[in-house]
């Protein structure tokens, strides 16, 4: 994309309502605009990030055999009356009447709907286990929406649901999903640690929340630093193998991690000093096993091997996709702006032409840009070099490729790594090889 033509309205002044870094940076870098309290429009660069995150989630969910569907945003109140949650949910649920005075609601989550769909389509134990997920806009009418997309009212969420024949099978689905989550967060470039959690209004008795470590996090966290070093994506754990899921279960049980609410001083004291890490975290995911709570209350059964009908065991598994955009920035920024992890960034490279109008400079920039226009944000504006450097740092693309009139004569490019600040003077060919643009 050419920045001169791109719709990316950066802001010079920090808006007063933005109290935290991610909110300020998302507004300054032109990623979002608020349209109502806690409701945002995503501008092109923000949408690219949102979609990159959703795509990573999708790939990793598909990799464990979960299947993607798409449920609507509006649900019938009837469904929630069947489970008993309609009255229990409280004022965060946005309740709606249609023209025929039928009660609808804007889905805050989908346990009821997916249970109903499952019940009308799956008839036999032979079709289990089944995992369905969708990535859809949800609404929770927060009394005081704040912190930008971190605590918005209309938000984008991936929610998955598992159906199993027994507790033992459901536990496997639970840890299969946990492995998928650990791989997702690692690919997103953040460090997320699962911590035992209360189950709240979803119900059930097995639950973990995933916290991204960030100095501005809302919760205090205490954890064994083993969590820091595990590369989940190269660890040879096969989600299809029961013994590998058992290994993960043991690992989780034996590596301490807790939010301040659940922190247990006695267990903590047993950990050697050099293993203890304290910090702060932002919740970005939450997984639950809740047994037959919904299949029983909603009367959903399948037939078993012996011909007798039974209520499948369920779990639900959420990732806050729009919230993650904010959380990643909280975990990865500096005074100059955002530092995007590679797989999430709107563009991999910001190409800075330091002298638009200079023929040699323009030519080399065009040659570079033509390599992969969709991965490069080409700053071809007639602005001073200082403005371009500042905007590139603010927007936070992983690499800056800087081409000035002097370097252009010898086909030399300066590469700057946004995260490390490292600078390299390279020939054109070496630079594009380094960036994988060839």
Q: Which residues of the chain form contacts with its own copies (CB under 8 A)?
A: 5-7, 9, 30, 33, 35-37, 39-44, 47, 50, 65, 67-76, 79, 91-92, 94, 96, 98-99, 102, 104, 106, 113, 116-117, 120-122, 130, 132, 137, 139, 141, 143, 153-154
d(CA 355, CA 382): 8
Instruction: Using the minimum distance from each CB to its own copies, give the nearer residue, 143 or 266.
Output: 143
Tokens (6 digits) for 437: 């643009």
Strands 376-379 vs 412-417: parallel, antiparallel or unpaired: unpaired
Residue 41 or 433: the one with the smaller Cβ distance to its own copies is 41
Rg (the chain; Cα; Å): 24
Question: Closest CB to its own copies among 92 and 334?
Answer: 92
In the complex, minimum distance from the CB of residue 124 to its own copies, in angstroms, rounded to a whole number? 12
CB neighbourhood size of 163 (10 A): 26
CB of 435 to its own copies, least distance (A): 23
Q: Kindly give the pairing relationship between strand 94-97 and strand 103-106.
A: antiparallel
| Min CB(362)–its own copies separation in Å | 19
CA dihedral 180, 183, 187, 190 (to 10 degrees): 110
Of 420, 408, 395, 398, give the one whose Cα is nearest residue 354.
408
In this complex, which beta carbon is closest to its own copies, that of residue 116 or of residue 164? Answer: 116
Print the SS3 string covering 301-355: CEECCCCCEECCEEEEEEEEHHHHHHHHHHHCEECCEECCCCCCCCCCEEEEECC
Q: Which is nearer to its own copies, 14 or 37 (CB)?
A: 37
How near is the Cβ of 358 to its own copies at its closest, in Å? 22
Q: Which is nearer to its own copies, 42 or 185 (CB)?
A: 42
CB of 117 to its own copies, least distance (A): 6
Question: From the CB of 214, what's the least distance to its own copies, in Å?
Answer: 25
| CA atoms of 194 and 380, how far apart (whole Å) | 44
- Provide the minimum distance between the beta carbon of 153 and its own copies in the complex, in angstroms, as a whole number: 8
Q: For its own copies, which is the closer residue by CB, 96 or 271? A: 96
Cα–Cα distance, 48 to 197 (Å, whole number):
32
**Least distance from C-beta 347 to its own copies, angstroms?**
14
The token duo for 374 is: 């969709």
Name the helix (H) or strand (E) containing 428.
helix 428-434
Specify whether the CB–CB gap between 128 and 302 falls below 8 A.
Answer: yes
User: Smaller CB distance to its own copies: residue 120 or 205?
Assistant: 120
Between CA 370 and CA 156 the distance in angstroms is: 33
CB-based contact 435:371 (threshold 8 Å): no
Of the pair 134, 313, the CB lying nearest its own copies is at 134
90: left (phi over 0), alpha (psi -120 to 50) or beta: left
As measured in angstroms, the least distance from the Cβ of 33 to its own copies is 6
The 8-class DSSP code of residue 73 comes to S
Q: Is 89 helix (H, G, I), strand (E, B) or coil?
A: coil
State how far the Cα of 225 lies from the Cα of 277, in Å rounded to an integer: 6
Smallest gap, in angstroms, from Cβ of residue 333 to its own copies? 23
Least Å distance, CB 52 to its own copies, is 13
Contact 309, 296 (CB under 8 A): no
CA angle 270, 206, 78 (to 5 degrees): 155
Q: Which is nearer to its own copies, 91 or 436 (CB)?
A: 91
* Omega cis (within 30) before 129: yes
Contact 205, 199 (CB under 8 A): yes
Residue closer to its own copies (CB basis): 8 or 259 = 8
């Amino acid at each position: 994309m050419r920045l001169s033509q791109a719709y990316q309205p950066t802001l010079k002044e920090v808006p007063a309502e933005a109290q935290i870094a991610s909110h300020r940076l998302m507004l300054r870098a032109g990623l979002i605009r608020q349209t109502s309290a806690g409701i945002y429009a995503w501008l092109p660069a923000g949408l690219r990030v949102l979609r990159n995150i959703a795509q990573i989630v999708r790939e990793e969910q598909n990799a464990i055999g979960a299947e993607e569907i798409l449920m609507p945003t509006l649900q019938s109140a009837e469904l929630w009356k069947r489970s008993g949650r309609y009255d229990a949910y409280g004022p965060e649920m946005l309740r709606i009447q249609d023209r025929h005075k039928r009660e609808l609601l804007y889905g805050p989550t989908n346990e009821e709907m997916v249970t109903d769909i499952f019940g009308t389509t799956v008839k036999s134990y032979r079709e289990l286990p089944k995992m369905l997920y969708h990535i859809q806009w949800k609404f929770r009418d927060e009394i005081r929406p704040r912190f930008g997309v971190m605590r918005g009212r209309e938000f984008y969420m991936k929610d998955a649901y598992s159906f199993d024949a027994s507790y033992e099978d459901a536990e496997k689905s639970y840890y299969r999903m946990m492995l998928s989550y650990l791989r997702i967060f690692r690919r997103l470039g953040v460090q997320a640690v699962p911590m035992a959690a209360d189950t709240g209004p979803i119900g059930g008795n097995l639950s973990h929340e995933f916290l991204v470590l960030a100095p501005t996090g809302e919760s205090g966290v205490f954890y064994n630093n083993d969590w820091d070093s595990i590369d989940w994506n190269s660890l040879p754990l096969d989600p299809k193998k029961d013994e590998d899921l058992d290994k993960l279960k043991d690992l989780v049980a034996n590596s301490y991690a807790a939010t301040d609410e659940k922190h247990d001083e006695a267990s903590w004291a047993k950990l050697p000093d050099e293993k203890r890490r304290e910090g702060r975290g932002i919740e970005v995911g939450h997984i639950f096993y809740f047994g037959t709570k919904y299949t029983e209350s909603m009367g959903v059964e399948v037939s078993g091997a012996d011909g007798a009908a039974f209520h499948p065991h369920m779990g639900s598994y959420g990732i806050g996709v729009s919230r993650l955009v904010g959380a990643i920035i909280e975990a990865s920024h500096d005074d100059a702006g955002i530092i995007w992890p590679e797989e999430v960034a709107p563009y991999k490279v910001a190409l800075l032409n330091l002298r638009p109008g200079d023929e040699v400079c323009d030519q080399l920039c065009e040659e570079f840009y033509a390599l992969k226009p969709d991965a490069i944000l080409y700053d071809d504006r007639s602005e001073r070099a200082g403005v371009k450097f500042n905007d590139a740092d603010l927007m936070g693309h992983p690499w800056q490729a800087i081409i000035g009139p002097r370097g252009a004569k010898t086909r030399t490019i300066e590469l700057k790594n946004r995260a490390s600040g490292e600078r390299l003077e390279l020939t054109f060919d070496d630079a594009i090889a380094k960036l994988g643009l060839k």
